Amino acid sequence: MDHGKIVELMSAETPRKKLPTYQVVISFIIRDFLIWWTYKFWLTLDISGNILFVATYYLFSLITSPQQIREAGYVTGGYFTFALIGIAFQQYVFFAVQSINQSVREEQVNGTMETVLSSATDFKVFLLGETCFFFIICSAFLFISFFVGYLLGATFTLSLESLLSVIVLSALLIASHMAIGVLSAGVIMKTKQGNPLTWVFSWLTQLVSGVFYPLKLLPWYLEWIGKLFPLTYSLDGIRLCLQGGQSLASPAVMNNIINLLIFTVVATPIAVYVFKLGYDAARRDGSLGQY
Amino acid sequence: MKVDQIIELFREEFPRSSSELKHTWAVFWANFKIFLSYRTWVITETLSTVASIAMYFFMGLQVDTNRFISAGYGDVTWLAFAIVGVSTANYLWMCISRISHSLQHEVSEGTLEPIVSSMIKLRSYIIGQSIRGFIVSSYFMVGTLLIGVLVLKAPLTLTVETLLSFIVILVMMIVSYAGIGIMAAGIILVYKKGDPMTFLLASITEFLGGVLFPLNYLQSYPILYGLAWAMPYTYALDAARRILLTGATLASPPVLYNFAVLVLFTLVFMPIGLRTFRWGMDRIRREGTVATY
């Protein structure tokens, strides 16, 4: 291209208009998808890892007794179905908590954070856009896990009511954990470092939220700590629906939903406030572009 | 510091040692100091190890003792069975991925060329990095076993004979996989990628090796069962479990058989690994791509 044309192109006045939120979010999804699609080998590895993980717990389930699972109210499917639900849905925790951190950190390291946030894009739209793609990917991995589990013999109590209830519980699971991710991203905005607290949160959740065993097996103090984590309520509700045939109409499931709602309503404004504090502090210091 | 002082510093003649032992020590010490500076990482990894052992303890409460005992390791608990599996699997992959991981790091940081151009032989570099890998991995492995035995009361047979036999099997396990680690490093030198392969191999090995379940349950899938016994890790884990769970030693025929198979794997993989590494090194030198990534 002739240099005159390049100068002309740069000098041309482009009318700028504020795009609707959904268009910005779609742009984020397309951008992330295009980047992700270039790493096909990693994609294959992720899928293989997922399948191997499910298969490991299938083989482990062959030496377990279904007694404790049934006593906890999950009557259909035994240990394998129980663990499969735990494995598949805990990925959402990873998604919600880690993906926002990861995105913010990548933008910082790549030096694109300042550019993005100096544009007309609002930081809330930025956060939404960054997380939507990960949500789609994690949903795909959830279906892969369930499909592999189904082929290996996992059984569920399925009805329209129970499926709808699972969708509601999944939405609340994402919303409640998203708050933790946003809060942590706010800290990273200011500190420019990976946040070990998020990491501790992830493994503590796995330990006390009943991903691989019913909460009744924990000593009282760990069971009590488990009740502070939203994944505990999400998994219990989802299992009661898919392994116990219950739905939103059942008091036990409704109780879980109320607890998740309380957590989300309390945690979300706090998280957005902390993110805004970190964001404003970084803008004030002029350190948005630093990493 | 003044400019003159800096120039003076560069001009100063330092006696350069050609001792490989000193080079190996220097590589180890430099990397160990870097490791010690990552205090947060050490703390979070330690906590995560403790949490994962606790998780296995609670998982073990759901195991049907009769089904587990019928799998052939005698009257032992699943927790002890799993702790030996998890600790050896983590130890193996922390050691093996160390060489390829550190080379990839040097390539991306642009420090491989200075290392290759220096007096340090790559042999010293690899040994130094490996020693650092062994020490860090041993910290996590010994920690896992100690928590299992002292806190969770996992019944492991710990005598001088069993401990010595276990160490010999561990060393053979690492040596039998070292060829693969060195091969991965050679591939990384040329293609500047390769860690994903090590990751995939680690996942497959952990699954087929029977870290969390007795291998007898794989017998219903003859292909997978056959593949499991085509990997050195399966023999190493079987020997480690026989030693720590049932009190066998190197003198016991099943352990001795596993040891012999590990020696055989070493004799096969090591020359292939060394040859691949030499091929990679020669190629990047010839093509002048030591510094590219």
Confidence of residue B196 (pLDDT cuts 50, 70, 90): low
Give the closest-approach CA distance of B14 to chain A in angstroms: 37
Give the residue with greater pLDDT, A83 vs B75.
Answer: A83
* Residue B85: closest CA among A58, A37, A56: A56
Band the pLDDT of B161: cuts 50, 70, 90: very high
Q: ipTM of the predicted structure?
A: 0.81
**C-alpha to C-alpha distance for A139 and B104, rounded to whole angstroms:** 32
Length reported for chain A:
291
**For A25-39, what is the mean pLDDT?**
83
Task: For residue range B7-52, list pLDDT tens digits in order.
Answer: 887 777 766 777 888 888 888 888 888 888 877 778 878 888 888 8
pLDDT confidence tier of residue B263, bands split at 50, 70 and 90: very high
A65 chain-B contacts, CB cut-off 8 A: 62-64, 67
Bridge partners, B63 (sequence order): A64
Name the residue in chain A with its Cα closest to that of B200.
A45
Residue A100, pLDDT above cutoff 80: no
Preferred mutation among B58, B192, B204 to probe A, highest tally of A CBs within 10 A: B58
Q: Please check whether residue A69 is in contact with residue A78, taking contact to mean a CB–CB distance below 8 angstroms.
A: yes
Instruction: Find the angle CA(A144)-CA(A38)-CA(A132) to the nearest 5 degrees.
Output: 55
The reply to whether residue B62 touches residue A79, judged by beta carbons under 8 angstroms, is yes
> If pLDDT is split at 50, 70 and 90, which confidence band does A44 have?
confident
Model pTM?
0.83
DSSP bridge pairs for A64: B63
Q: How far is A288 from chain B (nearest CA, A)?
A: 24
Between chain A and chain B, how many beta carbons pairs sit less than 8 Å apart? 79
Handedness of CA B87, B228, A148, A80 (dihedral sign): negative
Q: With CB atoms and an 8 Å threshold, state whether B212 touches A59.
A: yes
pLDDT of residue B265: 92
**A89 CA to centre of own chain:** 9
pLDDT at residue A243 tops 60: yes
**pLDDT tens digits along A197-236:** 777 787 888 899 999 999 989 999 999 999 999 999 999 9
> How would you class B280 by CB atoms within 10 Å of its CB: exposed for 0-12, middle for 13-18, buried for 19 or more?
buried
Q: CA end-to-end span of chain A, whole Å?
A: 35
Q: What is the DSSP letter of A64?
A: B
Sign of the dihedral through C-alpha A254, A260, A265, A266: positive
Across the interface, which of B62, B199, B204 has its CB nearest the CB of A64? B62
Q: Taking residues A134-152, report their average pLDDT.
A: 89
> Per-residue confidence at A86, pLDDT binned at 50, 70, 90?
very high
Contact B196 A64 (CB under 8 A): no
> CA of A205: which chain B residue's CA is closest?
B51
Cβ-based interface (< 8 Å): residues of A facing B: 41-42, 45, 48-49, 52, 55-56, 59-60, 62-65, 68-69, 79, 196, 199-200, 203-204, 206-207, 212-213, 217-218
In the predicted model, what is the mean pLDDT of residues B113-120?
80
Which residues of chain B are within 8 Å of residue A69 when distances are taken between CB atoms?
62
Q: Judge whether B106 and B115 are in contact, CB under 8 Å.
A: yes
B227 touches chain A (CB under 8 A): no
Q: Residue A155 region, left (φ>0) first, then alpha (ψ -120 to 50), else beta?
A: beta
Asked if B151 is an interface residue toward chain A (Cβ–Cβ < 8 A), one would say no
Q: Of A112, A119, A116, A117, which is closest to residue A18 (Cα–Cα)? A: A119
Partner-chain contact B40 A60, CB within 8 Å: no
pLDDT at A168 over 90: yes
How close A151 gets to chain B, by Cα (Å)?
14
H helices present in chain A, as ranges: 3-11, 21-38, 40-61, 67-71, 78-110, 113-118, 123-151, 160-191, 196-208, 220-226, 230-244, 251-285
Asked if A225 and A208 count as a contact pair (C-beta separation under 8 A), the reply is yes
Taking 70 as the threshold, does the pLDDT of residue A179 lie above it?
yes
pLDDT score for B234:
93
Among A45-59, A107-121, B105-119, B239-253, the range scoring the smallest mean pLDDT is A107-121
Confidence of residue A79 (pLDDT cuts 50, 70, 90): very high
DSSP for B39-57, written as a single string: HHHHHHHHHHHHHHHHHHH
Chain B residues whose CB is inside 8 A of the A98 CB are none
Q: Is the pLDDT of residue A195 over 80?
A: no
